[in-house]
Amino acid sequence: MKPPVATRGHPAYWAFVLHRISGVGLAVFLPLHFYVLAMAVDEAARLDRFLAWTENPLVKLAEAGLVILLAAHLAGGLRLLAVEFLPWRDRQKDYIALGGGFAVVAGLFFLLGAF
Amino acid sequence: MSENDTLSVDIWRGGEDGSFQTFHVPQRDHQTILDVVTYVQKKLDPALAYRFACRVGMCGSCAMTVNGEPRWTCRTHVSRVARDGKLTIAPLRNMPVIRDLVTDMTPFFEKWRRATGSFVPSATRHDPMASVDPASAERTAADEGIECINCGICYAACDVVAWNLDYLGPAALNRAWTLVNDERDADRTGHLRAVAGDAGCHACHTHQSCSTYCPKALNPTAAIAGLKRRTVEAALKGGL
């Protein structure tokens, strides 16, 4: 039996979890992305079929998720660089909220252009 | 709250592979978690092991895990943390459990040594008293970290310590940061060198759980971020 742990329910920890999930997610996505791009070299017809499939609204929604993850990882990475290379600022929760807001807005802009 | 209200308190018994035992404790006004544990030992089970000394938030002895969160029990009111009259009290996380609520803090203090947490004098008692400008940036940075009471709450709250038991942890790194900013210290580069390794300041993931739970409202995350900057600066200048 292990005693319960309840120390993870605060914004800086959520920011860490989001950064880790988005980082792992993008690391999985990028090889697939390059694999599909590589089809352009000698499998153009197959690439076209794949691109037609990506017009599916559900795929667009999934792409919006990807954009949100990318934006969240970008914003979170900039925040961490600021923490590690600039003088400490106490408004970390504000920066985390700004990063989260930036990610959601980026996803919404993608959706505006997608449909 | 009436005098008849009763708390249901689950207290950890045994060592690492122990389990919770439930006690019923009368609820009182202004009652602290330490009061609850003391009641259990005095009235219900004298074999209960726990640690405390000053009872006024100075000594750092009585930290325990209350409802999953590390807290100084002498200054934590039951009314603030009990949920529906229920409490769960366990030993601090990330330290070996000796028995019941008592942990072995040896690894915690051993890391203070590894982080060279002791002052290296640059003068003797025969020299005049050092004059440090209280408004200087370094003195201000040191000031923000020196009220640590070594309670181990930050260390217990830290997931990086849980993942890597070699990690020096927030308290030892915070102490190193105060010395790096002490202009009287004769080996400030030595302090930086001690915390620059794999299990040192650069292992921190900026979860900020240490700063969230520090009962003295210190900010070890800021101290660790400062160490990250200073170690990188020193490495770039070839001084590490």
Q: What is the pLDDT of residue A1?
A: 82
Query: What CATH number should be reported for the domain holding residue A24?
Result: 1.20.1300.10
CB contact under 8 A, A8 and B159: yes
For A83, which of B93, B206, B232 is closest by C-beta distance? B206
Q: Quick one: which H or E segment has residue A34?
A: helix A11-42
A80 vs B contacts (CB less than 8 Å): 206
Within a 13 Å sphere around the CA of A2, how many CA atoms are in the beta-carbon half?
Answer: 5
- When divided into structural domains, chain B yields a total of 2
Query: What CATH number should be reported for the domain holding residue B225?
Result: 1.10.1060.10
For B212, which of A1, A10, A90 is closest by C-beta distance? A10
Which 3 state secondary structure label does DSSP give B20? strand
Residues 80-119 of B with CB under 8 A from A: 88, 90-91, 93
Residue identified by tokens 């325990």 is B64
**Residues paired with residue B87 on neighbouring β-strands, in sequence order:** B9
Q: What is the pLDDT of residue B1?
A: 54
A95, part of any domain: yes
Contact residues of A toward B, CB < 8 A: 1, 3-8, 10, 12-13, 16, 80, 83-85, 88, 90, 92
Using CA atoms, how far residue B149 sits from A30, B130, B146, B175, in Å, is 47, 25, 9, 11
Kindly report the nearest CA distance between residue B126 and chain A, in angstroms.
37
Which 3 state secondary structure label does DSSP give B186? coil
B213, part of any domain: yes
- Tell whether B62 and B142 lie within a shared domain: no
CA-based nearest residue in chain B for residue A80: B206
A1, part of any domain: no
In total, the C-beta contacts within 8 angstroms joining chain A to chain B are: 63
Please, where are the H alpha helices in B66-219? 78-81, 106-114, 137-143, 153-157, 159-163, 170-180, 188-195, 209-213
Kindly report the nearest CA distance between residue B127 and chain A, in angstroms.
34
A102, part of any domain: yes
In the predicted structure, residue A115 carries a pLDDT above the cut 80: no
For A83, which of B93, B157, B225 is closest by C-beta distance? B225
Complex confidence, ipTM: 0.90
pLDDT (tens digit per residue) in A22-70: 999 999 999 999 999 999 999 999 999 999 999 999 999 999 999 999 9
Write out the residue range of the structural domain in which residue B143 sits: 106-236
Phi and psi angles of residue B205, each rounded to the nearest 5 degrees, phi first: -100, 10
Q: Which of B108, B174, B109 is nearest to B146 (CA)?
A: B174
Domain boundary pick from B103, B128, B153? B103
* Sequence-distant (≥ 6) Cβ neighbours of residue B177 within 8 angstroms: B141, B142, B145, B223, B224, B226, B227
pLDDT (tens digit per residue) in B156-192: 999 999 999 999 999 999 999 999 999 999 999 999 9
B64, part of any domain: yes
Q: What is the pLDDT of residue A113?
A: 87
Percent of chain B with pLDDT over 70: 98
Q: Per-residue pLDDT averaged across B9-15, rounded?
A: 98
Computed over every residue of chain A, the mean pLDDT equals 94
A8, part of any domain: no
Write out the residue range of the structural domain in which residue A64 sits: 15-114
